[in-house]
Chain A
Amino acid sequence: MKNNVIILGGGQAGIFAAREIRQNSSESNIKILGEENLLPYERPPLSKDFLLDKKNEEDLYFHSTDVLKNENIEFENISINKVDFENKKLFAKNDDVYSYDSLLISTGSENKKLSLDNNLKNDVYYLRNLEEAKKIKEIVSNKNKITIVGGGFIGLEIASSLSQLQKKVTVIEIGNQLMGRIIPKQIADIVQNTHIEHGNEIILNKQIEKITKKNGIYEILLNDNSLIETDFIIAGIGSTPSVKLFENTNLKLDNGIVTNQFCETSIKDVYAAGDVSNFYHPLYERNMRLESYQHAQNHGICAGKNIAGVKTEYTSIPWMWSDQFNLNLQLTGICDDYDEIIERGNDINNGVIHFFLKNKIIRGACGLGIAGKVGRDIRITSKLTEKNTIVDKQILADQNQKLNKLIQK
């Protein structure tokens, strides 16, 4: 019997799942339903090389139409507005009906929005997809003063790019440090100083009270009564999993779609992968939801294997990066569950890494360096974490000693 697989969501998790299913099953019908009329593409460059004109649209696609054709993977641009899990059907806005034997939900996540007066709803921009990136790129070309609301990864990457385009950039962050959700303060402060050195203004501990528009210029009133005048506003204040479609169904939701280590949801034959999934990680013995390039890819691949009948546990160690100016920030594992921090290095030219240990075992690490200076050590850290290695802390703390030694032991 043929397996009709529908992949709902045309992002990175979706395309990598599709190709993995095909690798393991020549018989399955595989169809990706995407809300954007674009083949799956890479999102990380949107806030960086795409804004800087170092990469164009064609550079972003994971695969050409030829690859999909050769592998007999269908892609359809359609918006689904109803799901019937019991009868295994999806209903599109245009009344088309799609039946499946196996369903993968890879709908991703969506940007949180600022609460604004109705008349200003279209004045604040967000960046998640190619269309938004194109709009931002076009509009900023004739603006000078840009304000970014939110000092997280996306906001700071945009701030870095726009600074390189000679814009006067102000970042407003509600917390007392940048990237406060996951980055240690000491490392966040180095990133902050780099932004300041490049002329960006960073405002911490401030909330927006009100935004008004006068003659095409915005006035942002902060909670200390200070006023910022700006030509253009971009907000990056976090995201939420895209689960609206499933809110009144039996699908178990809790900060995304709850899945086990095999990408299986609470409903038989329904899988979820990528940003939308709150998955169980066997190594950390807890559920987590990740929004990253590596996770979308690996989780998609794992879901693809399981859909194709190759039972596979998802044990990938989380990893993510952010590039701002010439700095490369990397995180691996989890950095919020530890009883000891060990620091390696104190100069970004050679890389600075904080390791987070619990019971002498590394749980995660955060590193910052010029270009790829922390990459190798962060990657080795992932391997040590994966194997629950008890580490020699003196080697961890001494940048003159290679971490490879710890793996070989």
Chain B
Amino acid sequence: MSEEIWIEVGSTDSIEEEDLIRFDHQDKTFCVYRLTDGFYATDGICTHEAVHLEDGLVMDDEIECPMHQGIFNIKSGEALSPPACEDLKTYPVKVDNDKIFIKID
């Protein structure tokens, strides 16, 4: 069994509500979101074409790709609107002492 790896992203006040930040770790890019009910994380690159979702708009529980307006559910990663059709990978998030951590497999 592999060991759980929690990576520190930053402090909770580094993300405004209904917004996101990009977080790069090794060769991977993630997006970490602050929604009204907590923090969430997904892959940082759209599944449709390789563009960073950090420039996208967060609306309620959804992130919209800035390039072609494909829409994903932030909590489940589900692709909701074409041209996005492949789901976005999501990651567990925890907050400890006002710091955000994401679990990367």
Query: Known contacts A42-B82, A319-B69; is A375 also within 8 Å of B57 by CB?
Result: yes
Binds A, one of B2-10, B27-35, B48-56, B96-104: B48-56
Confirm or deny: B43 has a beta carbon within 8 angstroms of a beta carbon on chain A: no
B69 touches A294 (CB 8 A): yes
B67 touches A376 (CB 8 A): no
Binds B, one of A217-225, A226-234, A366-374: A366-374
B69 touches A371 (CB 8 A): no
Query: Known contacts A379-B64, A379-B69; is A372 also within 8 Å of B83 by CB?
Result: no
CA distance A321 to B64 in the complex (A): 15
A42 touches B83 (CB 8 A): yes
Q: How near does chain B come to A71, taking the closest CB pair, in angstroms?
A: 16
B56 touches A372 (CB 8 A): yes
Q: How near does chain B come to A39, taking the closest CB pair, in angstroms?
A: 14
CA distance A328 to B46 in the complex (A): 15
Chain A residue with Cβ nearest B53: A372
A293 touches B83 (CB 8 A): yes
A376 touches B83 (CB 8 A): no
A42, A297, A323, A376 pick with most chain B CB within 10 angstroms? A376
Across-interface contacts of A372 in B (CB, < 8 A):
51-52, 55-56, 65-67
Across-interface contacts of B67 in A (CB, < 8 A):
321, 323, 328, 371-372, 375
Partner of B66, one of A44, A62, A297, A374: A374
A contacts with B, residue count (CB < 8 A): 20
Per-position contact with A for B58-76: 1 when CB-CB < 8 Å, else 0?
Answer: 0000001111110000000
CA distance A347 to B13 in the complex (A): 29
CA distance A293 to B19 in the complex (A): 27
CA distance A42 to B48 in the complex (A): 12
A373 touches B57 (CB 8 A): no
Report, as a range, how many residues of chain B touch the other chain.
10 to 19
CA distance A293 to B52 in the complex (A): 21
Q: How near does chain A come to B55, taking the closest CB pair, in angstroms?
A: 4
CA distance A319 to B81 in the complex (A): 15
B57 touches A376 (CB 8 A): yes
Confirm or deny: A288 has a beta carbon within 8 angstroms of a beta carbon on chain B: no
Q: How near does chain A come to B86, taking the closest CB pair, in angstroms?
A: 10
Across-interface contacts of A373 in B (CB, < 8 A):
55, 66
Query: Known contacts A321-B67, A321-B68, A376-B57; is A371 also within 8 Å of B51 by CB?
Result: yes
Confirm or deny: A380 has a beta carbon within 8 angstroms of a beta carbon on chain B: yes
A residues 346-377 near B (Cβ < 8 Å) are 371-376
Confirm or deny: A49 has a beta carbon within 8 angstroms of a beta carbon on chain B: yes
CA distance A62 to B57 in the complex (A): 24
Across-interface contacts of B57 in A (CB, < 8 A):
375-376, 379-380
Across-interface contacts of A42 in B (CB, < 8 A):
82-83
Across-interface contacts of B18 in A (CB, < 8 A):
404
CA distance A339 to B69 in the complex (A): 29
Q: How near does chain B come to A21, taking the closest CB pair, in angstroms?
A: 18
Across-interface contacts of A374 in B (CB, < 8 A):
66
Across-interface contacts of A44 in B (CB, < 8 A):
68, 83
Q: How near does chain B come to A245, taking the closest CB pair, in angstroms?
A: 28
Chain A residue with Cβ nearest B19: A404
CA distance A44 to B69 in the complex (A): 13
Identify 7 new A-B residue pairs, CB closer than 8 A, beyond the known A328-B51, A373-B66: A42-B82, A319-B69, A328-B66, A372-B52, A379-B57, A379-B64, A380-B57
Interface residues of B (CB under 8 A from A): 18-19, 49, 51-52, 55-57, 64-69, 82-83
Interface pairs (12), CB distance under 8 Å = A42-B83, A44-B68, A321-B67, A328-B51, A371-B66, A372-B51, A372-B56, A372-B65, A375-B57, A375-B67, A379-B57, A379-B69
- Please provide the 8 A-B residue pairs with the shortest distance between their CB atoms, ordered closest to farther: A375-B66, A372-B66, A372-B67, A372-B55, A372-B51, A376-B57, A379-B57, A371-B51
